[in-house]
A and B are shown apart, each in its own frame.
Chain A
Amino acid sequence: MRQVHDDDTPGGRQATPRRRGRVPAALLIPAGLGLLFLVLPLAGLLIRAPWTTLPERLTEPGALTALRLSVQTATLATALCLLLGVPLAWMLARVEFPGRRLVRALVTVPLVLPPVVGGVALLLVFGRRGLVGGWLDATFGITLPFTTTGVVLAESFVAMPFLVIAVEGALRAADHRYEEAAATLGASRWTTFTHVTLPLVAPGLAAGAVLCWARALGEFGATITFAGNYPGRTQTMPLAVYLALETDVESAIVLSLVLLVVSVGILVALRDRWMTTA
């Protein structure tokens, strides 16, 4: 395998020093296998896709409805996560308060929690008989399960940690002195936050939002548990894929392919611009 040295390229500005010599096979082989393991299943989708019938399958109303709902709910969930998650990340990064470590651990729980458990937990709180849901139902006649709002809540619950972690990391890496300078120049805390802090962490914020959106788009377990499955209202793409697999494998492959293309497309398009917090 040929190796590229940074200093081979003319004009490579202050390339990070990299050791010359062969990459040890002990690293190269497992690295290659790891890559293969991650990429092969995706390639499998491409290989098995029914390319000839793809156009008509894609334009089936059911597929389009599910895709539209997925994009809408993932976007709304990301908006909700930004609204609630950015202040939360700011608190975690900038404010000393007792129990901060515990709060940070709690915030990241949904990352490791099986989504279906998240769905059950949401039902117990926001369901018709839940702590908050019971009150909402009795007072306003609002029920959240089986509604599009329920989908947004389920997706937000699962995706918000991605945003909080990314933004908190960016805030910690950002230079405090700009904020201090703004304060000494008479800026209020809110002005400092909106005019100094936020622009400073914009790349991290964007990266977090993209991850959050992509995670929300792929959410399955919490959604089907909390919001149920009804075409046009709560049936997002992942749910449509699951049920299509029950009867029509090719249709499930096509839907999966769409989800894959959208996810990869978003990640690739944004990665170079924002994901590298230099």
Chain B
Amino acid sequence: MAVLVAVALVVAGCGGSADRATGGGGDGRVTGTVTVFAAASLTESFTRIGKDFEAANPGSRVTLNVAGSSALANQIIQGAPADVFASAAPANMTTVTEAGNADGTPSIFARNQLVIAVPRGNPKAVAGLADLTSPGVKVALCASQVPCGAAARTALDAAGVALTPVTLERDVKGALAKVKLGEVDAALVYRTDTRAASADVTGVEFPESARAVNDYPIVALKDAPNPNGARAFVAYVRSAPAQAVLTEAGFQAP
């Protein structure tokens, strides 16, 4: 057993504890690795914000772990060594705060709205939610367990549209990928996702999306290996330069 534990420790040690050793200092300077668990829909904007953060804090490195918010919340509760959690919905944030994993109160840093993603050129001429129920139109949604799926349900219910999708994907990027590959004719994803994929995908706006706006909360985590870096990153996401990146990506200000 001791050998196994030792092996596990050595393996874990390779994950960046050398960087982190300098990260916890109380001198206000941010160094070392900041591990950010971010919702899949934040992939592009947080990659840029992370680079800007590194430039503003020499000696720091931002590592992103992107997935569906609910999967991330679960990983954090199970003890994943994360510094920051940025969720695509308050519900998943609540799971983390209720489990006592948050350092302070989460704050909303962005909002996102759904659009209908269609392949470029919109071959099936989709103009609104009602068109998604036409025969021969294949639609991908997110599973209701992840925020984009919950928002899609809300929007469809608000529009009174009963839709049978061909697949319920595990995160928003999965749904978008099926549109990019041409395997489905439409998917309900965030506006920001279609902007990031503008070469292959067009976003069709629809009025009911206003009824299903997702709030994105962010928080530093209590057991953060790099608490200094965690707080600095959260503050940076709320700063003007980061907010500009988010707006450009298609997010709305909180």
Contact = CB atoms under 8 A, between A and B. Distances in A.
Interface stretch (B25-33, B43-51, B138-146, B153-161): B138-146
B169 interface: yes
A246 B68 contact: yes
Interface in B121-166: 138, 140, 143, 145-146, 165-166
- Interface of B: prevailing SS: loop
A193 interface: no
A88 B170 CA distance: 36
B178 A228 contact: yes
B183 A243 contact: no
Interface in A143-180: 145-146
A33 B145 contact: no
A132 interface: no
Given A230-B167, A246-B146, 15 more contacts: A37-B4, A127-B181, A128-B182, A129-B181, A145-B166, A146-B167, A228-B169, A229-B169, A229-B170, A231-B168, A243-B145, A243-B168, A245-B74, A246-B145, A249-B74
B interface, size bucket: 20 to 34
A270 interface: no
Contacts of A235: 168
Interface in A118-139: 123, 127-129
Interface in A218-253: 224, 228-231, 234-235, 242-243, 245-247, 249
Nearest to B95: A247
A198 B241 CA distance: 71
A interface, size bucket: 20 to 34
A235 B138 CA distance: 17
A99 B150 CA distance: 53
A36 interface: yes
Q: Which of A128, A224, A228, A249 has the most CB of B within 10 A?
A: A228
Nearest to B138: A146
